[in-house]
Amino acid sequence: MHPGIAAATGYLLPPEAYWTEEWFEREQRLLFSRTWHLAASETDLANPGDFVTLEAGFDPLVVVRGLDGELRCFHNLCRHRGMGLLAGCGNTRTGIVCPYHFWNFGLDGRLRRVPQLEDQFPGMDLASWGLLPGSVGTWGGMVFAHPDPDAGTLDSWLGELPKNIGSFQPALLTEVAHEHLVAQCNWKLFVENHVDVLHLWYLHAGTLADFDHPRFEWQQLGRNWVSFEPLKRGVDNPRLNAATTTIKHIDERDAAGLGAHAAFPNVLMATSSEFFVTYVARPVAPDRTVVDLRIRAEPDADAAALVRSATSFIVEDIGGCERVQASVRSSRFGAGPLARDHERPITLFHQHLSEALGVTSTNGAAACAPNA
Ligand code: FES
Ligand SMILES: [Fe+2]
């Protein structure tokens, strides 16, 4: 065990968790290939043939709306020799044709045509070689995908979270911006930062100065997490500010505060008087994370202004996480004691992650055992 890590600190993961390929691969296979992923806004998939692709751990997936209007999720690889089928997003209304040898699949996943079928594939049963299914679900105007066709429901993964995000009802909002930010850090540092209450006073001393951090409240809901903090007393309610487009249907409490939530492991959310934001911390390398930011707001909101507002503190978070990342390979790296309440969610995140990965805990530090 690294000498800097001890059970008393509450910081349960060893430094290796933040930079080694071994941890990265284990997380990809045992965590991200086995969980729900935010794939799209429902408006991205409004018409038959609309599709989006995504990576669920090492599993490339595609979500497509069929001619019958149903959303379906498939593994985005050809059943012949495994070529990736679709890239990015778009519309493929006439079906999915593999570029390699032109196997032709319907939007329902069935294999419809194979060139030279009778001559080269005698006796082949097309019905056996359709696309492999995953699962798909929707919540709040957002589409989620899971690589396992027998995954538990999206509702059970979200659990009590939707009921505890206040009055936002994200389905009533419009996605007005979609941006990607790159963080040169391990994805877990970004999640830990998101559930760290203590840094609000300091790292965000300027950007979040209007909020009353001593009245910050958080709640652990199974593996998920929700929180809220009000504006300081005496700070003008944003509804009184003509320059802002506050969300019409939210209540007075939500119009005068900030929410931050997390669906385990990496779907992070923030709410304000003007927006409901999701930002997924998507690991692309042990020391590199893409932050996939989507802003939902009133349709007439100033999207550029909302991007500036939401990213003002996210950019500070990324900067902080990158500076921790720069230290994690130091022979002297280690965590000291965590704040009893304000950093407790980090310990809980580490516990849930350790359980998901099946890592053993020795004197409080999780060791990455040989691959399961
Ligand atoms: S790999 Fe797709 S048709 Fe051959
Ligand atoms: Fe932050």
CATH number of 73's domain: 2.102.10.10
Helix ranges (H only) for the chain are 21-30, 117-120, 154-158, 187-194, 252-255, 303-325, 344-357
Q: Which of 75, 77, 81, 111 to mutate to test the pocket of ligand 1 (most atoms within 8 A of CB)?
A: 81
Residues 121 and 194 occupy one common structural domain: no
Question: Does residue 101 line the site of ligand 1, with CB under 6 A?
Answer: yes
Residues having C-beta closer than 5 Å to ion ligand 2: 317
pLDDT of residue 366: 59
Closest ligand to the CA of 117: 1
Q: Ligand 1 test: best mutation among 83, 86, 105, 131, most atoms within 8 Å of CB? A: 83
Q: What is the total residue count of the chain?
A: 372
To test ligand 1's pocket by mutation, which of 77, 85, 98 has the most ligand atoms within 8 angstroms of CB?
A: 98
Instruction: Indicate if 174 and 283 belong to the same structural domain.
Output: yes
pLDDT recorded at residue 184 = 98
Q: How many whole angstroms from 145 Cα to the centroid of ligand 2? A: 27
Evaluate whether residue 340 is within a structural domain.
Answer: no
Q: Evaluate whether residue 5 is within a structural domain.
A: no
Report the CATH number at residue 300: 3.90.380.10
In a domain, 261, yes or no: yes
Residues 256 and 301 in one domain: yes
286 and 198 in a common domain: yes
Which residue owns the Cα nearest ligand 1 atom 1? 81
Domain end, chosen from 154, 187, 210, is at 154
What distance, in Å, lies between the first and last C-alpha atoms of the chain? 21
Query: Domain of 70?
Result: 35-154
Q: Would the CB of 6 count as within 6 Å of ligand 1?
A: no
Ligand in nearest proximity to the CA of 96 = 1
Q: Whose CA is nearest to atom 3 of ligand 1?
A: 101
In a domain, 352, yes or no: no
Per-residue CA distances from 53 to 129, 149, 164, 269, 331 (Å)? 21, 17, 30, 22, 40
Which residues are registered as beta bridge partners of 260?
A: 227, 270
CB-CB contact of 9 with 364 (8 Å): yes
Q: How far, in Å, from the CA of 198 to the mean position of ligand 2?
A: 9
Whether residues 195 and 309 fall in one domain: yes
* Pocket of ligand 1 contains residue 100 by CB under 6 Å: yes
* Cα R_g (the chain), whole angstroms: 22
Question: Are residues 143 and 207 part of one domain?
Answer: no
Alpha carbon of 222 to ligand 2 centroid (Å): 22
Same domain, 172 and 304: yes
**For residues 53 and 61, what is the distance between their CA atoms, to the nearest angstrom?**
6
Q: Which residue has the tokens 């594939």?
A: 121
Of 132, 154, 176, the residue that ends a domain is 154
- The ligand 1 atom at the shortest distance from the C-alpha of residue 79 is 2
Give 99-119 pLDDT, tens digit per residue: 999 999 999 999 999 999 999
| The total number of structural domains that make up the chain | 2
Same domain for 91 and 210? no
Question: Does residue 321 form part of some domain?
Answer: yes
Residues 42 and 85 in one domain: yes
Ligand 1: atom nearest CA of 83 is 1
Residues 146 and 172 in one domain: no
Atom of ligand 1 nearest to the CA of 81: 1
169 and 219 share one domain: yes
Place of tokens 């199974």: 222
C-alpha dihedral over 56, 61, 62, 68, to 10 degrees? -100
- Model pLDDT for residues 115-172, shown as the tens digit of each residue: 999 999 999 999 999 999 999 999 999 999 999 999 999 999 999 999 999 999 999 9
Query: Is 359 domain-assigned?
Result: no
Atom of ligand 1 nearest to the CA of 101: 3
81 pocket-lining for ligand 1 (C-beta < 6 Å): yes
Residue where the block lists tokens 């707001």: 297
Is ligand 1 within 6 A of the CB of residue 105? no
* 316 within some domain: yes
Segments of the chain with pLDDT less than 70 = 1-8, 243, 361-372
**Centroid of ligand 1 to alpha carbon of 129 (angstroms):** 11
Last residue of a domain, one of 154, 176, 195: 154
- Do 27 and 107 contact (CB within 8 A), yes or no? no
Residue 52, in any domain of the structure: yes
DSSP assignment of 73-110: EEESB-TTT--B---SEEE-TT-EE-TTT--EE-TTS-
Q: Is there a single domain that holds both residue 80 and residue 46?
A: yes
